[in-house]
């Protein structure tokens, strides 16, 4: 298993370190795992003057899967857009054709009280957001600055989706729903946007190939509201790049903390980039405070999707649950009187639980 490691910026290096300990643990058990490290984002700009340099492009192409920490930080906010850290992450998604972003929001029973929503609304939540990741207004051309007809300066972007882009992400949504609760909700803004109207037509057409899945459509404003009103009505949500960005951050709070949310970004052959949904949290970087669980859970997704190793994925997820059940809490998921531990100690707890799971095999 050839894995590229891109720690990135802010808390990225600390949380990735804990995930790498998990990989090293499996390697010590005899798994053939090859790790190569590279730069992305601000770290890459600092090292090579480019947020997605050639060296990282080669590394990423050669790997079977990529583990990413997070990118960005206030130090880079004043740089020209072309070299800002976010261009690193957008660049790698585009270059590798990682069009399918899977963001599961699962509420662990141990964390029910950490959610800002009432237990009776969120307990048992298990929802998957399938976000299109290489199209939409994120990449649409033209974009930029210009003078409008009245001679006033304006900024503009372009939203568009090609039929093939909609079909392939719709299929990912239907396939996922078929293996889960068989309900797919497509989220758009078809009451206003031409792009969304087309999206809705194409998704509805794809539905013909999946008679066992119940398809519904929802406007994005309503979906944002329904997610906090009654999130368990959803099984799988499929949506575009921009709406998926926003709704997945919202969904993260349902499960207690964005520090718990992993993600997978897959190409057509299940090669993937795996990263936590949260950002680089510059305010707590380097202080051993960040929650490494979203990154560790991203590894579980890597074993599941890119390496078809359900056994290792299940062991990681089991170890995370054991650590939570034992009361191990980083600051983001701790309540009032609960004792708070650091990034490394949470890594220790997961490793200890993994060791026990190995002994039990
Ligand atoms: C995410 C992030 C990125 C995005 C940023 C960092 C470019 O918010 O992965 O959700 O908008 O896609
Ligand atoms: Mg986001």
List the CATH number of the domain containing 38. Answer: 3.40.718.10
Which pLDDT score is estimated for 338?
85
* DSSP characters over 256-283: S-GGG-EEEEE-TTS-EEEEESS---GG
Q: How far apart are CA 97 and CA 270, in angstroms?
A: 11
In sequence order, which residues have a C-beta less than 8 Å from that of residue 174 and are 6 or more positions away?
A: 184, 206, 207, 209, 210, 213, 215
Q: Is the dihedral of CA 51, 143, 138, 136 positive or negative?
A: negative
Q: Confirm whether 157 is a catalytic residue.
A: no
Question: Which pLDDT value is given to residue 361?
Answer: 52
- How many domains are there within the chain? 2
Residue 82's contacts (CB-CB under 8 Å, 6 or more residues apart) are none
Domain extent for 187: 116-255
pLDDT at residue 360, as a whole number:
55
Instruction: Establish if 328 belongs to a structural domain.
Output: yes
Whether 84 and 178 share a structural domain: no
Same domain, 124 and 248: yes
Check residue 33 and give its pLDDT.
98
245 part of the active site = yes
Residue 264's pLDDT is 97
- Give the contacts of 279 (CB within 8 A, at least 6 positions apart): 10, 70, 71, 72
pLDDT at 359: 65
One pLDDT digit (tens) per residue for the chain, 361 residues = 999 999 999 999 999 999 999 999 999 999 999 999 999 999 999 999 999 999 999 999 999 999 999 999 999 999 998 999 999 999 999 999 999 999 999 999 888 988 889 999 999 999 999 999 999 999 999 999 999 999 999 999 999 999 999 999 999 999 999 999 999 999 999 999 999 999 999 999 999 999 999 999 999 999 999 999 999 999 999 999 999 999 998 998 898 888 899 999 999 998 999 999 989 999 999 999 999 999 999 999 999 999 999 999 999 999 999 999 999 999 999 988 889 999 999 999 999 999 998 765 5
Ligand 2 centroid to Cα of residue 32, in Å, is: 33
Q: For ligand 1, is residue 98 a contact (CB within 6 Å)?
A: no
Which pLDDT score is estimated for 253?
A: 85
Boundary of a domain, candidates 208, 230, 255: 255
Q: Which two tokens stand for residue 151?
A: 């001679």
Contact 245 CB / ligand 1 (< 6 Å): yes
Tell whether ligand 1 has an atom less than 6 A from the beta carbon of residue 136: no
CA 221 to ligand 2 centroid distance, Å: 17
Question: Buried (b) or exposed (e) across 90-110, using 16+ Cβ within 10 A?
Answer: bbbbbebebbbbbbbbbbbeb
Is residue 210 located within the same domain as residue 323? Answer: no
Residue where a domain terminates, one of 199, 221, 255 = 255
Residues 143 and 248 in one domain: yes
Separation of alpha carbons 129 and 104, rounded Å:
6
**Do 122 and 233 lie in a common domain?**
yes
- Residue 87 pLDDT: 94
Annotated catalytic residue within 50, 245, 271, 332: 245
Question: Are 247 and 279 in a shared domain?
Answer: no
Q: Cis omega before residue 17 (within 30°)?
A: no
C-alpha 244 to ligand 2 mean position (Å): 8
Distance CA 169, CA 47 (A): 35
- Starting from the CA of residue 280, give the closest ligand: 1
- Given the residues 138, 161, 210, 274, the one annotated as active site: 138
Domain termination site, one of 229, 255, 281? 255
Does residue 106 fall inside a structural domain? no
Count Cβ atoms within 10 A of the Cβ of residue 61 and give its class: 0-12 exposed, 13-18 middle, 19 or more buried.
exposed
């Amino acid at each position: 298993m050839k894995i590229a490691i891109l720690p990135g910026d802010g808390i990225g290096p600390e949380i990735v370190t804990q995930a790498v300990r998990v990989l090293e643990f499996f390697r010590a058990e005899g798994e053939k795992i090859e790790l190569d490290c590279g730069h992305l984002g601000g770290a890459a700009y600092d090292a090579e003057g480019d947020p997605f340099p050639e060296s990282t492009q080669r590394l990423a192409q050669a790997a079977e899967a990529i583990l990413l920490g997070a990118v960005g930080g206030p130090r880079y906010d004043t740089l020209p857009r072309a070299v800002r850290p976010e261009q690193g992450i957008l660049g790698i998604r585009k270059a590798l054709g990682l069009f399918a972003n899977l963001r599961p929001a699962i509420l662990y029973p141990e964390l029910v009280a950490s959610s800002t929503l009432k237990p009776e609304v969120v307990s048992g939540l298990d929802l998957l957001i399938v976000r299109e990741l290489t199209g939409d207004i994120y990449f649409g051309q033209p974009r930029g600055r210009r003078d409008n007809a009245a001679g006033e300066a304006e900024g503009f972007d372009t939203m568009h989706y090609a039929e093939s882009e909609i079909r392939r992400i719709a299929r990912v949504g239907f396939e996922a729903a078929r293996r889960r609760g068989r309900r797919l909700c497509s989220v758009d803004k078809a009451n206003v946007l031409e792009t969304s109207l087309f999206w809705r037509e194409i998704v509805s057409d794809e539905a013909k190939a999946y008679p066992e899945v119940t398809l519904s459509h929802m406007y994005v404003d309503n979906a944002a509201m329904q997610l906090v009103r009654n999130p368990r009505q959803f099984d799988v949500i499929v949506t575009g790049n921009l709406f998926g960005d926003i709704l997945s951050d919202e969904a993260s709070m349902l499960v207690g903390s964005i520090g718990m949310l992993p993600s997978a970004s897959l190409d057509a052959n299940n090669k993937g980039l795996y990263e936590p949904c949260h950002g680089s949290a510059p305010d707590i970087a380097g202080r051993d405070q960040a929650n490494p669980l979203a990154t560790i859970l991203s590894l579980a997704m890597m074993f599941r999707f890119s390496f078809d190793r359900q056994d290792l994925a299940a062991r990681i997820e089991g170890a995370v649950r054991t650590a939570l059940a034992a009361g191990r809490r980083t600051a983001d998921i701790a309540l009032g009187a609960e004792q708070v531990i650091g990034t490394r100690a949470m890594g220790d707890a997961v490793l200890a639980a993994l060791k026990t799971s190995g002994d039990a095999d």
